[in-house]
Copies of this chain bind each other. A is one copy, B any other.
Amino acid sequence: MVETIQWTNEGVVMIDQTKLPHVVTYVTCRDYKEVAEAIRSMVIRGAPAIGVAASMGVAIGFAHFDGGDFRAHLDTVCETLARTRPTAVNLFWAIDRMKKLAIGMEGRPLAEVQAALVAEAQRVYEEDIAINRQIGAHGGPLVPDGKHVLTHCNAGALATAGYGTALGVIRAAVEAGKKIAVFADETRPFLQGARLTAWELQQDGIETTLITDNMAGHFLKAGKIGCVVVGADRIARNGDVANKIGTYSVAVLAKENGVPFYVAAPISTLDLTLASGDLIPIEERAGAEVTHLFGVHVAPEGIGVANPAFDVTPNRYVTGIITEKGVARAPYEVSLAGLAGE
């Protein structure tokens, strides 16, 4: 299995997800600014992986700190990392976790703080893999045997520290002996499905059919798909789910065709401060991601473009939210708060 992100003595090493699948190359981020840039430019992406990267970003932000205003430096590092991408709440969750640890250690010898931050970032990494295994254990039994699973974007090992959320559910179902195959939406504009999901699943020997996003409805109608499983970037208190643009469409088409639609995400993806998905900030990315494909300009010069990177799926389309603590079902206000221990 590929390593998505690793803490090393040289810095934070990430597989460059903008280059996959044909070029497998690694980027080493030697300070927090490089980590921030890697998150912004989607060298690393996927809500849980962004959380891990941000943790390591805070740790490396203190690795080179030579003393001075501790709190000012902490704020600078955390704000730089927080300003990269607005939608995935795991980013802010990870930064907050690291920040609380640092503040609690203020005044202690710098080397001690530095070591503690590195250890905490490593813990975020290791916990994430364990969480994904638990998500798989809860979700695997929900996957119908002998049918296709449809997934959108990449919620796999590459979107996490390892194993994956949505793909973790698929992996767990396969490990349990179920005969399933996958339809992978290519996921324009960034092609996470074509470039990352198809690649991951192929390496695992899981039969995968790549389709363009606009084919998902056709295959859902054709009765080929037993369930849909996707990841999430932020889940509001009422169970509304922000995830990669196109997720809402898949959810509506699944419901229309009587196909269960599951969201697989760690508890850290819940944002119980938001009453509904309408309050989740949706990142708008550069239009060039839509108009240019691998350097080729496919649209007429000067055309208007929209590029919202995420959409919000209202809770009524969500059959269940698979977390490491169990599967939440409607009414989500109750079930999510319960799983989150509130």
Contact = CB atoms under 8 A, between A and B. Distances in A.
B303 A198 contact: yes
A209 to B, nearest CB: 4
Given A208-B304, A209-B304, A294-B294, A299 B195 contact: yes
Contacts of A307: 212, 215
Nearest to A212: B188
A189 interface: yes
A22 B299 CA distance: 8
A198 B291 CA distance: 11
A308 B215 contact: yes
Contacts of A299: 21, 186, 194-195, 198-199, 210
A296 B294 contact: yes
Copy number in the complex reads 2
A214 B202 contact: no
Given A246-B215, A311-B218, A210 B291 contact: yes
Interface stretch (A38-46, A108-116, A249-257): A249-257
Nearest to A304: B209
Contact of A245 (B195, B209, B214, B252): B214
B303 A217 contact: no
Contacts of A253: 249, 252-253
Contacts of A300: 21-22, 198-199, 202
B188 A186 contact: yes
A22 B298 CA distance: 8
Given A194-B298, A202-B300, A300-B199, A217 B308 contact: no
A248 interface: yes
A318 to B, nearest CB: 15
Q: Which has the most chain B C-beta neighbours within 10 Å: A191, A210, A256, A290? A: A210
Interface of A: 21-22, 152, 183, 185-189, 191, 194-195, 198-199, 202, 207-219, 221, 245-246, 248-249, 252-253, 256, 290-291, 293-294, 296-300, 302-308, 311
Given A185-B214, A215-B308, 9 more contacts: A21-B299, A194-B298, A198-B299, A198-B300, A202-B303, A208-B304, A215-B246, A218-B311, A293-B296
16 contacts: A186-B188, A188-B188, A189-B212, A198-B299, A202-B303, A209-B304, A210-B305, A212-B246, A212-B290, A214-B214, A214-B249, A215-B245, A215-B306, A217-B311, A293-B294, A294-B294
